[in-house]
A = this chain, B = another copy of it.
Amino acid sequence: MITLTEEPFDPGALLSEFSKGRSEVGAVATFTGLARAEAGGTTILELEAYPGFTEAAIGQIADEARARFELDDLMIRHRIGKIAPGEAIVFVATAARHRRAAFEACDFLMDYLKSRAPFWKKAHGPDGEHWIEPRAEDHRDIARWDEETPQ
């Protein structure tokens, strides 16, 4: 399930919900991205999505993850709007019969979400506001999946 929300969420509550009643699954991996305070440099992060378009784009990558890895299920929750330091920005959970598939699918989805997903991100701090571009590291991370043969 893919959800964009303006409301703060607790990643733990999502993991409880996601892992409940899975008696044939074995492996659940999650990743939570938290807004960083940058030692006071950022007070508020603002994330903009294109409603409909953004969910559809993430949905395509979720389908690609399902095709590449042997997954039983996945969940993606993404904050939009204004986010305070320490709050969760993104939560991804993957369930699979085997540990490696769960980890790799979660990693794959996060690399996409952090570098190519249709969001625009602004930092508001004491020195004003500025738009943020993906880091070089995010571009390198996503490039790892292009080099590999599909599994």
**Bound CA–CA A26/B33 (angstroms):** 5
**Bound CA–CA A52/B110 (angstroms):** 37
Q: Does A65 contact B (CB under 8 A)?
A: no
Report A's interface with B, CB cutoff 8 A.
10-19, 21-39, 85-86, 88, 97-100, 102-103, 106-107, 110, 114, 137, 141
- Inside 8 A of A36's CB, which chain B residues have their CB? 23-26, 97
A34:B30 contact, CB within 8 angstroms: no
B15:A32 contact, CB within 8 angstroms: yes
B39:A34 contact, CB within 8 angstroms: no
- Inside 8 A of A114's CB, which chain B residues have their CB? 99
A34:B29 contact, CB within 8 angstroms: no
